[in-house]
Structure 1
Amino acid sequence: MPDAIRHVLFPGRHHLVTAFQVAYLTDLLAGRVRDAAGAPVTCAPDARVVWALTSATHSGTRRNPVPAHRREAMIEAVTTRAGLPSLVVPVADVPPSPRFAHTVLATAELVLGEPLTPHDTVVACSTPEVAAMYADDGFRVATVEDGAPGDPDRPWVVLERMVAGDDAWRTLAHPDAVAFYERYRLDAQVRLVHTDPTVQDDGDLTATRDYATYTAAFDDASDRKWAQVAPHVRPGRVVDLGCAAGGLLERAARDPRLAESDLYGVDVSRHLVAEAEHRRAQGVFANPNVFFAQRNLLLGPVFPQRSVDTTTTVALTHEISSYGAGRADLELLARRIFEQTRPGGVWINSDVLGPADPERVVDLVLDGDADVAARDLTGMARADAAAHVAALSPAARLVQFAHDFPALSGADVTLEWVERGPDRSVARTSLRTAMEYLYTRDYTDSWLSECHERFCDLTGDDWADLLTDAGFELDPGSGPWRNDWLVENRLRVGAALRDPATGEPVAWPDTHVLTVARRPLAEATR
């Protein structure tokens, strides 16, 4: 006869607790449930449900919209009111693995101080593939929703009802779970995460970015970027949108002028916000009032109206344009920032810029032979794709760019090879396309991610119009500028611009824009 059960292991992400689950677990502890083999499950009087809270280190994504501390608190609230003896075991997020069951069991043993064995534990699980892992280790399985009369909705289906605006979720979820969601407005948070059109299921703009390289490059440039924006920063509430891992705020936190300021970093990327939080825990930021949040400003306000003194966006706006609806999203961003800015407050934006005459036809002269075929890199490992692109000459890399950039970014690329040779090739194209390529070509570590991004959507005049249309006034000195270091050390290496008619050199266009957009003080008296 099977031993009496002391533990009901209930693994899952548990973003919601349903009324069915509570009733089922209550019946399971009372001995009113049979296992998958049809044998009755007899529980000891002191038996408890062990809620294995998987993906506990992962949140802010469609896969895991609710952070672990909220999920754990919800379980405690529901089970306490329901009189369901329970313990919660947070389990770190791990990639799919045939050893998943072992990971959960080992974590539970570490947290509880005792092993869960097939002799004293039944696993409650409705996912056949996961249940099979535990069955292979000798555990009995109680199937919860799987095969239950009426085919009750799993929690993720109830969440999808919530996202779709179906109020049936309120009757399917346990009443105390509904109350908990309402108390912390988790329903609104889940809807935001699920309806964000620019972010993938795992909480990022792109799945092809090398975050170690990306973060290192951003940090390396943070001193220069802070030196550029610092003179324009107004103390108070300072918000860095697109904060990455917090490199710019690390410099801001050392600025004596901002010692009494609150510094906020906001980024859409789960990876980058997690790294910023890790840095804060390590004591990287001199100012204790540094805060980070994973948010998308395009989906709704992040800060109350007229509450922000300074907003900075550095190397961000081209990503918003690239991954969203182009200029329309930048116009929405400008309106959102204007709304959150105090009268007299500023939005400081620095980014790469499109040339003033983007459709001008130029000859792009490149070292190397263009008589090569582009490869399909989409099925290659990121490291292999990076190695392949890095080995290409400037001319051969343009061939690859002309294949990848239109497919990934949606931009039109028209070019004609007017000369091909072993040492030099010449492509006739627009100045916009030439600059898009030259801005992108050195980022081989995340090539496919970079080919998704357009740097030349807006000109300097476009920026001036966009900002004034939103209600801002531009401070003196705002506008396009050319980074001559970038020209000398990156753009012109193995490359030159020529006029097709005369063969004369074409001057390098402005490469960047710096705008200091101020909300008029006069609005304070309206």
Structure 2
Amino acid sequence: MYLLFPGRHHVLTRFQAEYLTATAGDRTVVWAVTSANHHTTKRNPVPYHRREAAIERFSVATGLRSLVVGVTDTPPTDDFAEVTVKAIEAGTDDQVRLDPGNTVVACSTPEVAKLYERLGYQVIGVEPPDRARPWDVLLMIAAGNEQWRELAHPATVDVFDRYHLDAHVRRCVNDPVVGDDGGLTTTRDYKTYADAFETAADRKWAQIKDFVRPGRILDIGCATGATLQLVDADPRFHESDLIGVEVARHLYAECVHKKEQGLFGNPNVYFYQRNMLGSAVFPPRSIDSTLTLALTHEIWSYADGSRPATVQRFVNGLFAHTAPDGVWINSDVCGPAEPDRMVLLELDDSDGANPADVADLESLADPAAYVGGLSTRARFFQFAHDFRRNANVAFQYAEGPGGRLSLRLADAMDFLTRKDYVDNWLSETHEQFCGLNFAQWAAVAQTAGFVVDPASTAWRNDWVISNRIAPVAALTAPDGTAVAWPDTHQLLIARRPS
């Protein structure tokens, strides 16, 4: 009765049309579209509803009777075949029950085929080794090779052309920042990040709200949409368009979820999952206010190629989409005014363990517990090890008398401002907080064409200094005189002239 055809089905091929029409007979083809809840990632660039549309057009064109069921992405599991069969039952209101007696499985992936065979299903191959498989065709699209149109079925070509999915695929697959599954790093705990963004939203909004202009308001790196919720609640912006852009799939999903729950009163709230380092998202001079909150250090940290050039390209793009008299508001961390000043750093070694060597955290079951149990001094050496390889920075230091560490002030602050981020240690060590100082960020804005508002300033988070850093660390100059704790954050208000 059924021919089960599991796969991601981003691209349908002419060969699949020949094969299925010759093989299916009077069977119904059940298209189990896996990773249906993923899109705009390297591994799953095409949204499920576009995949479904192409399959339906394919079925009409070939005369196949088809059922299309989305299957939620699951981690690698030996129960994949069973999970897929159950998802089909749920997706058809239990009207379609597949079993080895009524179903043949079409699958060319040996590892997956074995899982169905273990359940008793007969499995037949699909694409032979000498044929381009659907993923090969998708990689041709990503590479800009127009030969894909000769291999893809006209149903896929039509859907791709109408919705410009070829450009979308190129942007996703070639993205230098986002990983296979839509995250910035594979070790990031997005639950922790989401909670932190929600907690900090009120404080950040209080800092920037007086500078926001009504109109089209864009929050880049909007995380869970918490700041846009506060904009939405402000009567000054009831007639504004509120636009959020978030690159991380996990956070973008939360934004969409909030909108679906009706947590925004303004009907003109829109979310995009996009990396703003790619092609332009918004037309020139179309945005009145752009917010970047805790974002620009990530642009610097995850830059492809030259970091200064990437940051300048990003800010140039902000200037291009900013309307005359519009504003870019940047609230983020920054480096000290004298980044290259040499200092001596003394760290507490009595507040935790002091192992003889650094650990390979990826091999540990609980890296957070291990790092959390280290002394501040031991945590420094672990940070140096992980920061060098993850952020690709030099981070040079020398040990002197009394165990004092000699290093650049910017490097000292990169450690001190991050040493307590144990829950996301491996992810955080990909990022450099002190890559640029406030004056350098202001210069980037001015080079793009912005005028820096006098209200812009660098500032120091004294709570973090008093409660997190000063109790376990001391900074002195090489001659032994005390060094004042430097600025840790910035508020940059950049306006586009009329």
Instruction: Select which of 246, 260, 276 maps to 1:297.
Output: 276
Specify the alignment match of 1:34 in structure 2: none
CA contact (8 A) 2:368 2:425 kept: yes
User: TM-score normalized by structure 1?
Assistant: 0.91
Confirm whether residue 14 of structure 1 aligns to residue 9 of structure 2: yes
Matched, 1:450 2:445: no
Distance in 2 (CA, whole Å) between partners of 1:155 and 1:378 is 37
Match of 2:24 among 7, 23, 29: 29
Q: Is structure 2 residue 375 aligned with structure 1 residue 375?
A: no
The 3-state SS of whatever aligns with 2:389 is: helix
Asked if 1:327 corresponds to 2:308, the answer is: yes
What value does the CA root-mean-square deviation take over the aligned residues? 1.5
Correspondence list, 1:406-485, <5 A? 406-420=388-402, 425-485=403-463
**Residue equivalent to 2:72:** 92
Task: Name the counterpart of 1:355.
Answer: 336
Tell me, what secondary structure is at the counterpart of 1:98?
coil
Tell me what 2:30 maps to.
50
Is the CA contact 1:372–1:399 (under 8 Å) kept in the aligned structure 2? no
Gap change, CA 1:180 and 1:371, over 3 Å in 2: closer
Residue 41 of structure 1: aligned partner: none
Q: How far is the alpha carbon of 1:430 from its aligned partner? A: 1.4
Letter in 2 for 1:123: V
Match of 2:253 in 1: 274
Sort the Cα spacing of 1:140 and 1:431 in 2 relative to 1 into closer, same or farther, 3 A: same
Q: State the Cα distance separating 1:288 from its structure 2 match.
A: 3.0
- Matched residues, number: 492
Q: Which moved more, 1:252-261 or 1:482-491?
A: 482-491
Question: Which of the numbers 198, 204, 209 marks the counterpart of 1:225?
Answer: 204
Q: Aligned letter for 1:337?
A: L
Q: How does 1:73-112 map onto structure 2 within 5 Å?
A: 73-112=53-92
**Shift in Å, 1:48:** 1.2
What is the SS of the residue equivalent to 1:432? helix
User: What letter is aligned with 1:462?
Assistant: Q
In structure 1, the partner of 2:165 is 186
Contact 1:127 1:146 in 2 (8 A): no
Aligned position for 1:506? 483
Q: So what's the TM-score if we normalise by structure 2?
A: 0.96
One-letter amino acid of the structure 2 residue matched with residue 441 of structure 1:
K
**What is the Cα deviation at residue 419 of structure 1?**
4.2
Does structure 1 retain, via aligned residues, the 8 Å contact 2:445–2:451?
Answer: yes
Structure 2 letter corresponding to 1:16? V
| One-letter amino acid matched to 1:72 | E
Q: CA deviation at 1:371?
A: 6.4
CA distance in 2, matches of 1:307, 1:192: 22
Residue aligned with 1:299, SS: coil
Deviations 1:343-386 (A, max 9, x none): 111110011111111111111122116964332334334x6111
The 1-side partners of 2:459 and 2:88 are apart by 58
1:336 and 2:317 aligned: yes
Q: Residue deviations 1:444-495, cap 9 Å, x none?
A: 0011111111011112221121111101111121131222222222232311
Map residues 91-170 of structure 1 onto 2, 5 A cutoff: 91-112=71-92, 113-146=95-128, 151-170=130-149
Return the letter of the residue paired with 1:392: L
1:374–1:403 CA contact under 8 A, matched in 2: no
Larger Rg: 1
Which runs of 5 or more residues in structure 2 are unaligned?
none
**Whole-angstrom CA distance in 1 between matches of 2:283 and 2:469:** 42
One-letter code aligned to 1:263 = L
Q: Distance in 2 between matches of 1:359 and 1:493?
A: 24
AA matched with 1:433:
D
Q: How many Å apart are 1:174 and its aligned residue? A: 0.5
Supply the distance in 2 between the matched residues of 1:98 and 1:339 (Cα, whole angstroms): 50
Q: Deviations over 1:37-77 (max 9, x none)?
A: xxxxxxxx4x2111111110111111100011111111112
Write the distance in 2 (CA, Å) between the matches of 1:499 and 1:162. Answer: 56
